[in-house]
Amino acid sequence: MTRDLPARGLALAVRALPAAHRDWGLAMQAELAAVEDAAARRSFALGCTRTLLTRPATLLRLAGAALLPAAGAVSIVLALRIANLGVRAEALVLIAALAGVLWLGRRPGVLGPVAADVTSRRVRAASCAIVGALLVMVLLPSEAVGKRGVLSGRVGILWAWARGSSVLTVSRSF
């Protein structure tokens, strides 16, 4: 199969598809493989890519995937604001450990991706939420809870971590 720019671009869009719509992406890739004219390939791949990336289900999935880096960035900023050097180091190590666990969660193995069904995703999300709660406890000390916005900040980080983790570590073997 040709691996030119149109094929690569379409392949990226197909990777962004949720499981339920993957067949359509594969169908488009197979169709593209049968198109030989370079201009026709570009036009076909562009149309297919636009179709796939503008589906609401795809946009939701991409948004979910973007939550985790956002939660990570906020966590690092909060960790760097911790005055106590030891606690700050502890928080940064915890963030790094969570990033490592997430990386492992995307690779085959014991901690690898879970199946795309609802139960598996909920179990993974719940376990991620527990770990995320630990992170939030370290980042935001309890005396700050009374301050406006801190509680919602905690909930936000926790939700983003759990949602992003569950989206990113679902099995891609669909």
CB of 5 to other proteins, least distance (A): 16
Q: What is the closest distance, in whole angstroms, from the C-beta atom of residue 38 to other proteins in the complex?
A: 15
SS3 144: helix
Q: What is the dihedral of CA 131, 133, 136, 137, to 10 degrees?
A: -110
For residue 170, give the DSSP letter: B
Which residue's CB is nearer to other proteins, number 29 or number 127?
29
* Cβ 26 to other proteins shortest distance, Å: 8
What is the nearest approach in angstroms of other proteins to the Cβ of residue 16? 15
CB of 61 to other proteins, least distance (A): 14
Query: Judged by CB, which is closer to other proteins: 56, or 149?
Result: 56
Residues that bind other proteins (CB under 8 A): 1, 23-24, 26-31, 33-35, 43-48, 50-51, 55-57
CA–CA dist 48, 64 (Å, integer): 22
Measure Cα distances from 36 to 4, 47, 49, 52 in Å.
11, 16, 18, 22
CB within 8 Å of 168: residues ≥ 6 apart? 64, 65, 68, 102, 105, 106
The H helix count followed by the E strand count for the chain is 7, 0
Instruction: Choose between 107 and 172: whose C-beta lies nearer to other proteins.
Output: 172
Task: CB nearer to other proteins: give 20 or 134.
Answer: 20
Instruction: Give the angle 93-126-153 at the CA atoms, nearest 5°.
Output: 60
Q: Which is nearer to other proteins, 10 or 67 (CB)?
A: 10
